[in-house]
Chains A and B, each alone.
Chain A
Amino acid sequence: MAVDNTMRQLNLLLVLMNSKRPLTRSDIFNRVSGYAPFETEKELEAAGRKFERDKTDLRQYLVFNEVSPSGDKQSTYSIDLEQSFFAEVDLNEDELILISLATGAWRDAHLGQSAAAGALIAGPEYRGGSNIFTAMGRDERYLKPLEQAIVQKLIIEFEYYSRNSNETKVRKVEPWRLVLHQEHWYLFGFDYEREAELLFRLSRINGEIVITKNPILNPNPQDTNPIEIIREFQRTETQVQVARVRVPIADCANLRLLAKDFDESPAGDVLSIEYEDAYTLSREIALVCDRVEVLEPPALKERVTNLVNKVLAVHQ
C-alpha cells in the first residue's frame, strides 16, 4: 500500500511537471493512475480523499500551487518548478570537500539523517578529500526533537534540573536556537517561568521533550549572541585578575596552559594566570589540589578550599 501511495505521488509529480498548463482535479484523475476508479460518487469521494492526502505530502517538499477561481470553475494545480527544485550550482573541488566535511560532521549523530542529503551535491568521492575530520552532536539525543520544534516554531515542555534551586521542574519554553559551547550543548529560548530569554543545558533535561501544538509568540532575537550570554554568565570578576600559583616542574599542565607567564624556582614554577572566571579557575586548581599552592589572591584560595570542603563533606 505504501509503495502504491509513493508511486502515485511520484506519478502525480511527473504529470504536473510535464503539463504546460495547470491541471484540474479531473485532469489529474484521468492522467495519474492510482486514483481510479471514480465512476460512482463514493469512488469519487475516495479518490478525492487520496488526492487531498497527496497534496499534503507533496507540500512537505515542493511548492504546490492551487488556484481557486470564482464561480463554478474547478480549482487548478501546478508545481512551481523554480521554487521547488534547485538550479545547478557551480562548485569547485575545495567547496565540494567542505560540503562533505559539513555533512560528515553529523555522521552517527541525531541530525545525521537530515545532513546526509548533502551527499547529493558532494558524493562519497569527496569523503576523505582532506586530512580533517569533523564530528558533533553524536551523543545528544535531544538535538532532533529540539530542531523540529524550532523549525515548526512550536512551544515545548520538558523536565529540567535547576542548579540554583536544586529541583527538577517542568519548563515551558519557546525554542529558538541550539548552541554548542565548550563541548556542551544548550537550548536558547524564551522561558515562561522566568518570563525571560534563557539558556538550558541539554544535559540537565530529564525524560522526553514534548512538542506542543501551540505556536511560539516571541520571535527569535537575531541580534542576540547566546555564546556571549554564556561567557557573561561565567564571568565572576568585574575586571581581569591575576593569580599566582606554584606548581611542580613538568606537572599541572591544565594550569600551565592558562598561564601567561611563569618564573622558575627550585621549589617549582610560579605561574601568573589572568582570569575573569574564578569559578572555572578554582575548579582547575582543585583538579590538582594535592600538589599546587595558590600564592595569591586569597579569595581564589578560599574558593578552592570551599570546593575541597564540599568534596570532603560528601565523602566523610
Chain B
Amino acid sequence: MAVQFETAVRMLAYLRTNSPVELKTVAEVFDLKPAQIRRYCTLLNEARIGDFYGQNADVEIQDDEDGVWIETRDSLGLDKQMRFTPDESIAIIGGLKYLEAMPFLVEQKTVAELLLKLQSTFATTDSIIDIGVNAVNPQIVAMLKDAVSAHTCVEIEYGAAIDQKVTQRIIEPVALQANEGVVYVRAFCRSSEAMRTFRVDRILSAEALTEPGNSQETVSSDFSINSPNIQTRLRMLPEMLESFAPETVTDVTTVENLIEATVSVTNAAWLTSLVLASGGDIEVLSPADLREQVVHKAQKWLQASAEIDLDQSKQGETWAIY
C-alpha cells in the first residue's frame, strides 16, 4: 500500500485536532479503507521528532463495543493543516464558484464572504473556472425550496423533454439538485405515482399548495434514468455524443471526422426530434423504421411550409385584384 507524505501529514494533524475520532469517520474524510487507516495510524505512531530529541507521536487505536476509535495524545506539534495545494485550492474554489453562480439556491454574499474567510487556507486564490448556469425562474425555485422544507405539495405545468408535451402534475418535492449548471427537483409525482426528477427550467408555471406531502423517499443525489429499450446505430459529429448519457453509448468507432456508436434510448420520438434538431449532424443508420420516422417528420415540415407559402401567395393575388 502506498503511503503518501501529504496524507500522512494531513492525517496526523486531523487526528490530533479531532481526538478521539471514530476510525470510520477518518476513512470517510480521507477516502481510504479502514485497513489503510489502521496502517497509517501504526506508521504515524512511529513518527518521531528525531534521534536527537527521542520523542515519538502517540496514536492509539481502541476497539470498543461502540466502534473503533483513534486517540492521539501527541502529534509532536503538528496540529494544523497544511495549506491546500494549488490543485486542491482550485477544485474547492471552483466548487464554491459553482454555488455562487446559483443565487436562487445559495446566497451569493455568503459564498463571497466564505471565500474571503478561507483565503489563508489556499495556496492560490486564483479562480480558473467560470460557470454559466442555465436560467431558471427564481420564484419557482424559491417555491420549490419552501416546499422541500415545509414538506408541502406544488402543482406544476411541466414540459417533458422527451416528447415536448405539457402536463399538469402535483408533486411533493424532496430535494433540489444542480447538475452541470442545470437545476432539478427530485419529487414524488402524484400523476406517475413514483419518484421523478424534473428539470426546473422546464417548469412552465407553478403554484404552491398547502396540502402536506407524504413521500417517504430517502433523499439521494442519483440522477437515474429509465431503462433504455431501443438500440440504435448512429453516425455523428463527436460532440453530438454529449447528447447521450455515457452509460447508454457502446461500440464507438471513428470514421474520418465522424463517429459511429450504438446508443440505447428510451423513446423513439425523443431521438427523432434530436436528429431533426441536429441539422444533419446525427444520422440514424439503424433500425430502418427509426430512419424512416426522421424522413417522415422532415417531409411533414417541408410539405406544411410549401402549403402555407402557397396560401400566402394566393392571398397576395387576391389583394392585388381588389
Contact = CB atoms under 8 A, between A and B. Distances in A.
Interface of A: 2-3, 5-7, 9-11, 13-15, 17-18, 30-33, 57-58, 60-62, 83-91, 94-95, 98-99, 101-106, 111-121, 123-125, 128, 131-139, 147-148, 150-151, 161, 163, 166-168, 176-184, 188, 201, 203-204, 206, 220, 225-227, 230, 250-254, 256-257, 283-284, 286-290, 293-294, 301, 304-316
Given A131-B219, A251-B164, A136 B181 contact: yes
Contacts of B78: 13-14, 17
B50 A123 contact: no
Q: Which of B14, B50, B178 gathers most chain A CB within 10 Å?
A: B50
A307 B80 contact: no
Interface stretch (B59-67, B95-103, B209-217): B95-103
Contact of A147 (B30, B128, B295): B128
A33 B48 contact: yes
Interface string B157-177: 011110011110000001111
B271 to A, nearest CB: 11
Contact of B82 (A85, A94, A283, A315): A85
A114 B181 contact: no
A98 B110 contact: yes
A137 B297 CA distance: 35
Given A123-B25, A251-B165, A293-B304, A13 B95 contact: no
A60 B165 CA distance: 55
A129 B297 CA distance: 48
Interface string B165-206: 111000000111111111000000000000000000110100
B192 to A, nearest CB: 17
B294 interface: yes
A305 B279 CA distance: 10
A203 B241 contact: yes
Contacts of B304: 293
A117 to B, nearest CB: 4
Interface in B43-69: 43-44, 46-53
A21 B118 CA distance: 30
Contact of B202 (A17, A106, A133, A253): A253
A163 B237 CA distance: 9
B23 to A, nearest CB: 13
Contacts of A151: 86-87, 90, 124, 128
B31 interface: yes
Interface residues of B, number: 117
Contacts of B50: 11, 14-15, 31-33
A181 B105 CA distance: 18
Given A119-B28, A135-B179, A315-B284, A95 B110 contact: yes
B138 to A, nearest CB: 15
The 7 closest A-B pairs by CB, nearest first: A253-B159, A102-B95, A310-B280, A181-B132, A31-B50, A115-B91, A133-B221
B49 A30 contact: no
Contacts of B130: 177-181, 188, 225-227
B35 interface: no
A124 B28 contact: yes
A88 B175 CA distance: 32
B80 A10 contact: no
Interface stretch (B2-10, B224-232, B260-268, B314-322): B2-10
A301 B305 contact: yes
Nearest to B90: A147
A106 B95 contact: yes
A231 B161 CA distance: 23
Given A117-B92, A135-B223, A176 B82 contact: no
Given A147-B87, A177-B129, A183-B182, A103 B294 contact: no
A141 B186 CA distance: 27
Interface string B265-302: 00000000111111110011000000100111111111
Nearest to A121: B121
